[in-house]
Amino acid sequence: MHVAAIANTLKDLNLLHENLLELATEKTDVLIRGDMNFLKSIMSKEQKLIKLIQNKDQDLRIFSKGYLQRENDITLNDVIKQSEEKDSETLIQLKQQLEETIKDLKNKNETNQQLLQQSLQFVQVSLDLLKPSIETYNYERPMKKNSYETEGYSSFESKV
């Protein structure tokens, strides 16, 4: 395996993460609008991208192990250290681009998480307002007694 395969995989990973970032940006707008059908669609696309990212990450591990001809855990930094200067500069640049994209994605996901929390709080407050209080839920007799109760009379006359 050569460094070009590793570099191409890093480019692909960055592109997939950028696509995921675009979906996260769309998700922010959808959360603000409250369009649940479109949100389901976005989440489905995200799952597909995540699966592709996992596959590319596995490819990167395989290429890195092949390049260094070792079987133990290998990091991208190990590959960078072992590669020639020209190749290592390319790998460092690609790694920094990927790290920046992942950082942006993390920030966008935190924003989306906050929006979801606020939406859930709003729903909870709305439900609390609609739920009747326990005092008004059950029927109670009024505290004031009617005249027939105080005199021992019934409203129903049993002698006819």
- Say how far apart CA 3 and CA 62 lie, in whole Å: 12
Identify the architecture of domain 3-131 in CATH.
Up-down Bundle (1.20)
SS3 call for 71: coil
CB 19, CB 104: distance < 8 Å: no
> How high is the pLDDT of residue 121?
87
Residue indicated by tokens 């250290």: 81
Per-residue DSSP letter, 143: S
Going from the first residue of the chain to its last (160 residues), give the mean pLDDT of each consecutive group of 10, the final group possibly shorter. Answer: 88 96 94 88 95 95 85 83 90 95 96 90 82 60 57 56
The closest alpha carbon to 7, from 90, 105, 74, 96, belongs to: 90
